[in-house]
Amino acid sequence: MTFNPPSRPSLRSLSSFDSSQLAHPLDLNLGQTTDTLSSSTVHTCECQPHASDHSASIYLTLDADQVVVAVNPNGAACLGYTPDTIVGQSVFNLFSSADQPKLKSFVQHSLDATEIRQDVLHLIGRGDRLLAVRATLQAWYGQGTQRLLACHGLPPQSPLLQLKTWQKAISAIFPVSIFVADANGQCIDTSGHYREMTGMTITEVRGNGWEAAIHPDDRQRVCAEWLQAVQTEGAFHTEHRLNPDRAAVVWVLAQAIAERDSDGNVVGYVGTLTDITERKLAEETLRQQADREKLLRAIGQHVRQSLDLKQTLYTTVTEIQQILEADRVLIYRLHANGSGSVMMEAVAPGCKAIRGQLLPEAILPPNYYQLYLEGRVRTVSDVEQDSMSDCLVELLKQLEVKSKIVVPIRQNDRLWGLLIAHQCQSSRHWQPAEIDLLEEIASQVEFAIQQSELYQQVQRLNADLERQINLRTAQLRLAFDFEATLKRITDKVRDSLEEDQILQAAVQELAQVIGVNCCNAALYDLEQGTSTIRYEHTISVSSSHGRVAQLAAYGEIYDQLFRGQSFQFCSLVPHPTRGHVAMLSSPIFDDQGVIGDLWLINHKYYAFNEQDIRLVEQVANQCAIAIRQARLYQAAQAQVQELEKLHRLKDDFLSTVSHELRTPMSSIKMATQMLELILFRNQESKELATLPSSSVAALTVPHSLSVTTATLQKASRYFQILRTECQREISLINDLLDLSRLDAGTEPLVLTAVSVPQWIDRLVEPFMERMHQQQQHLQIELPSDLPLLTTDRADLDRITTELLNNACKYTPANETITVSARIQGDRFQLQFSNSGVEVPPAEQSRIFDKFYRIPNRDPWQHGGTGLGLALVKKLAEHLGGRIQVCSTTQQTSFILELPFVPTS
């Protein structure tokens, strides 16, 4: 055997070492280790010349070139060699590579110095065993330049020897690979498990050969971490893969720690390689499970947060393609005709995209359809080895599919579509976990589809509802516009009592609102059998205003109008000026019959809608009402004019009669007085004094005429009746004449300033005796600062006299007549009130009419002409004021209001 210096190990081979983890898997204790070591093959030199406990002596003689020229036989045997094998070798080949720098320094020092140098070194024995020795190098006296290297064996407590012993003991007990490296990080030794795990021999592993056992993808990282641990003399810990050439990749946990001597110097590294493939597989399984759960949560959350089905499906296929590392993931949508299309897909780079393509029915055979509808999942590891139809295989080849998995997507007992994953680069065996994942995702997709369809249904319902609301709003707006238009037209129609203005307003409004080219209105003369256009609105042709048509000449048209029916039609024969047109006709009629008609004319392609027809009919009805009202008004006006004429004739007659009766009544009155003087002698002198001398001479009668007393009493009563009735007729005639003058409006006002308190005192004095006789009480209420009133005193006297006379006439006994006055703004109010009497509301509006008397309201039976209050009203108006009555709770008041202008 030849010794070759071990090559410097690469610093990129061994795995890291953690002392805590080393103690845990090996679970070492000193007692067990000592027992193990006692039975293990720890090599110490048992052939030393001086037997001592654990000592061994190897004596090497070196020449000037550091070559062994002699060795003691026991020493050679201790190393497992014969002396001939060792002699001739360089001393550097006998010691471990870790000791080379120390050995060189050791030899160099022995050449320069005379003292003896000692150090701990490691000899290499047979089978690459290390033997720790305490080496002493000194000059070999008497041998010239030769030196003697004495190596004395050390107990097995040397760190590297102890580690080597532990390695063999632990490897025999635990399935852990152990490696040992020197202080420079080069591999020195490994356990048998290491070689079994990596498939490499100890010779291949030593130095930097161990790096070949590391997976190429992990090699650079592991070597860098080992170099850093050696440089920092720290612990080494990493995970990496081995056996890149094997079908199954092996994961290992590499750990190492530095071993130090008693001085704290690093003498080497010891570490372990632990097979963690199962743990890695479990971690990968957990990771995949976590990723799947994360994917399911993400898809579920997206389904809950989004109602966009396309976005949900895109997220689904993208996430599935990434987590399964599939070449293509797609959503296949089935159509009603049996075909389908790729609705959504996610493809890996370099793979063919098929989204949007319509796939033939062969992609889904009938027997597969039923299985998918039942929820069956189909997996194909290799399409060429599967028992599917040739056409389907050919189709999948066109799509570059080598392997696939198909999961059904169902919705309401129907097959909505398929969730499909394709492997295009190579065949693939689909794992149960992957199948479960796709089934769960398909369930989420089914829920998303259901939710999307419900959302779309709600959207459609909302759209329909909104459409209905808009339609209803439009109808209401149209109805509102219709009512507003109809009201505007009705107001314009009702504003006039002239037939032509009524028809003009209706025609103009209809033409503008409906937007026709022509609109006209006609009235019928049923006696003459004609229809005359009274008004027409046109924008394109000449007007037909005033045209007269014979009703009998167009019987087909007017028969419908006389039945109250509206109709529209298009002219078959072109009109000379209008051409072909569309026409709408509506009758103007009421309960008394048809009055006329409305015509609307537009271009021949125009169709009058229901709203137009209803509006025209409503306007026609309003026109009928307005025309009837106008005709009634005209008839009423004619009657009013006739009545006014009769009233004027009556007034003229009364005025004439009054004038004609006034003179005879005056004569009758005077004759009555004269006759009374003749009959009653005892009154002669007194009465004659009041008559003119000519009258007295005429009335002289013979003294021979004699009358009895009884006769005189009767005559006196008759004369009283005659005098009273004569005076009443004279008053009636005077009132009629005054009313005639006031109606004529020719009587001027004579304005004077009146002191109201003095004027009232003077005016009520003649009534005091009458009130006393009738047991009536008079009360006058006047403010002390009442100013002067400027008015016509004669008219005011007449009004006041009539009102006081009226109060005395209708006030019962023991009741009060009150006269009051006040200033109210720019009005002077004079009020005459009497208690104990009340005028019914129905009578109050008629109390100022001529010749009207309230029945059964005269307790004193004074009678009257019925012209007093009528005259009072006329006189009040003549003075610029007014008179009104107020009667409640047995109290009646007449309030006279006159204009008041303060005097300076």
What's the CATH code of the domain at 835? 3.30.565.10
Residue among 191, 229, 228 at smallest CA distance from 210: 191
Residue among 510, 702, 790, 699 at smallest CA distance from 622: 510
Helices 432-494 and 277-305, axial angle in degrees (round to 10) = 10
Lowest mean pLDDT across 471-475, 566-570, 851-855: 851-855
pLDDT at residue 5 tops 60: no
Report the DSSP beta bridge partners of residue 751. Answer: 792
Residue among 805, 894, 811 at smallest CA distance from 847: 894
Last residue of a domain, one of 125, 155, 185: 155
Residue 14 inside a domain? The answer is: no
pLDDT (tens digit, 9 = 90+) per residue, 758-805?
Answer: 999 998 898 898 888 889 999 999 998 889 999 998 889 989 988 998
Residue among 408, 409, 406, 407 at smallest CA distance from 447: 409
Distance CA 507, CA 892 (A): 56
Lowest mean pLDDT across 598-607, 755-764, 851-860: 851-860
What average pLDDT score do residues 564-582 get?
81
- What confidence tier does 238 reach under pLDDT thresholds 50, 70, 90? very high
Residue 9 inside a domain? The answer is: no
pLDDT at 100: 85
Mean pLDDT of the chain: 78
Residue among 191, 188, 232 at smallest CA distance from 99: 188
As a residue count, the chain comes to: 904
State how many domains the chain has: 5
What average pLDDT score do residues 507-534 get?
88
Q: Are 272 and 181 in contact (CB under 8 A)?
A: no
How many whole angstroms from its chain centre is CA 249? 60
**Which secondary-structure segment (H or E) carries 139?**
strand 129-139
Q: Are 124 and 92 in contact (CB under 8 A)?
A: no
pLDDT at residue 818 tops 90: yes
SS3 336: coil
Exposed/middle/buried for 777, CB within 10 Å: 0-12, 13-18, 19+?
Answer: middle
- What confidence tier does 362 reach under pLDDT thresholds 50, 70, 90? low
SS3 526: coil
- Looking from the CA of 458 toward its CB, the CA atoms found within 13 Å total 7
For residue 887, which phi and psi values (nearest 5 degrees)? -140, 115
The verdict on 819 and 785 lying in the same domain is yes
DSSP-assigned letter for residue 545: T
What average pLDDT score do residues 707-724 get?
74
**Could you tell me whether strands 777-781 and 816-824 are parallel, antiparallel, or unpaired per DSSP bridges?**
parallel
The verdict on 595 and 668 lying in the same domain is yes
Residue among 348, 345, 343 at smallest CA distance from 327: 348
What is the domain extent for residue 263? 19-38+160-275
Locus of tokens 């009769």: 646
Strands (DSSP E) contained in 17-56 are none
The verdict on 198 and 221 lying in the same domain is yes
The verdict on 593 and 696 lying in the same domain is yes
Residue 628 inside a domain? The answer is: yes
What average pLDDT score do residues 10-36 get?
30
pLDDT at 882: 92
Lowest mean pLDDT across 338-347, 404-413, 674-683, 782-791: 674-683
pLDDT (tens digit, 9 = 90+) per residue, 609-643?
Answer: 888 888 888 888 888 888 888 888 888 888 888 88
The verdict on 174 and 250 lying in the same domain is yes
Q: Which residues contact 389 (CB under 8 A, 6 or more apart)?
A: 362, 365
Residue 728 inside a domain? The answer is: yes
The verdict on 27 and 47 lying in the same domain is no
The verdict on 608 and 538 lying in the same domain is yes
Distance CA 613, CA 607 (A): 10
The verdict on 727 and 650 lying in the same domain is yes
Residue 516 gets the label, from left (phi > 0), alpha (psi -120 to 50) or beta, of: beta
Distance CA 219, CA 673 (A): 167
What average pLDDT score do residues 360-366 get?
72
The verdict on 609 and 518 lying in the same domain is yes
191: domain CATH number? 3.30.450.20
Locus of tokens 């299985």: 371
Residue 223 inside a domain? The answer is: yes
Helices 868-878 and 709-744, axial angle in degrees (round to 10) = 30
What average pLDDT score do residues 510-530 get?
88
pLDDT (tens digit, 9 = 90+) per residue, 126-173?
Answer: 877 788 888 887 765 445 577 888 888 766 544 555 555 555 555 555
Distance CA 822, CA 781 (A): 9
Q: Are 26 and 67 in contact (CB under 8 A)?
A: no
511: domain CATH number? 3.30.450.40
SS3 885: strand
Locus of tokens 């019928």: 524
Residue among 48, 255, 10 at smallest CA distance from 131: 48
Distance CA 816, CA 403 (A): 126
Distance CA 608, CA 595 (A): 23
**Measured between alpha carbons, how far is residue 342 from residues 66, 323, 354, 356, 418 in Å?**
83, 21, 7, 5, 10
Residue among 502, 436, 15 at smallest CA distance from 215: 15
The verdict on 548 and 680 lying in the same domain is yes
Which residue pairs from 155-158 have beta carbons closer than 8 angstroms and sit at least 24 positions apart in sequence?
Answer: 155/44, 155/53, 155/54, 156/37, 156/42, 156/44, 156/54, 156/132, 158/120, 158/122, 158/132
The verdict on 726 and 822 lying in the same domain is no
Angle among Cα 549, 551, 552 to the nearest 5 degrees reads 120
Distance CA 266, CA 698 (A): 188
pLDDT at residue 585 tops 50: yes
Residue 282 inside a domain? The answer is: no
**Measured between alpha carbons, how far is residue 269 from residues 98, 122, 265 in Å?**
11, 15, 12
Q: Are 402 and 386 in contact (CB under 8 A)?
A: no
For residue 616, which phi and psi values (nearest 5 degrees)? -65, -40
pLDDT at 126: 85
Distance CA 658, CA 681 (A): 35
pLDDT at 284: 81
Residue among 475, 10, 479 at smallest CA distance from 207: 10
pLDDT at 328: 92
Distance CA 787, CA 335 (A): 107
Residue 422 inside a domain? The answer is: yes
Residue among 425, 434, 418 at smallest CA distance from 345: 418
Distance CA 220, CA 228 (A): 12
pLDDT at 45: 38
Angle among Cα 512, 515, 519 to the nearest 5 degrees reads 75
- What confidence tier does 446 reach under pLDDT thresholds 50, 70, 90? confident
Distance CA 12, CA 223 (A): 3
Annotate 465-506 with DSSP letters as a single string. Answer: HHHHHHHHHHHHHHHHHHHHHHHHHHHHHHT---HHHHHHHH
Written as six digits, the tokens of 190 are 């490994």
DSSP-assigned letter for residue 876: H
DSSP-assigned letter for residue 880: T
Distance CA 547, CA 553 (A): 14
Last residue of a domain, one of 155, 177, 211: 155
pLDDT (tens digit, 9 = 90+) per residue, 266-325?
Answer: 888 888 888 888 888 888 888 877 877 777 777 777 767 777 888 888 888 888 888 888
Tally of CB atoms within 10 A around 3: 15
pLDDT (tens digit, 9 = 90+) per residue, 182-220?
Answer: 888 888 888 767 777 777 887 888 888 888 888 888 899
pLDDT at residue 837 tops 60: yes
Annotate 102-120 with DSSP letters as a single string. Answer: HHHHHHHHHHH-SS-EEEE
**Could you tell me whether strands 68-71 and 57-62 are parallel, antiparallel, or unpaired per DSSP bridges?**
antiparallel
For residue 333, which phi and psi values (nearest 5 degrees)? -100, 125
pLDDT (tens digit, 9 = 90+) per residue, 854-882?
Answer: 665 555 555 566 778 888 888 888 889 99
Q: Are 75 and 151 in contact (CB under 8 A)?
A: yes
Last residue of a domain, one of 744, 774, 796: 744
Distance CA 641, CA 375 (A): 101
pLDDT at residue 56 tops 70: no
Residue 280 inside a domain? The answer is: no
pLDDT at 96: 85
The verdict on 514 and 634 lying in the same domain is yes
Which residue pairs from 299-302 have beta carbons closer than 8 angstroms and sit at least 24 positions apart in sequence?
Answer: 299/441, 299/444, 299/445, 299/448, 300/444
Distance CA 290, CA 635 (A): 102
pTM of the model: 0.41
Amino acid present at 109: H
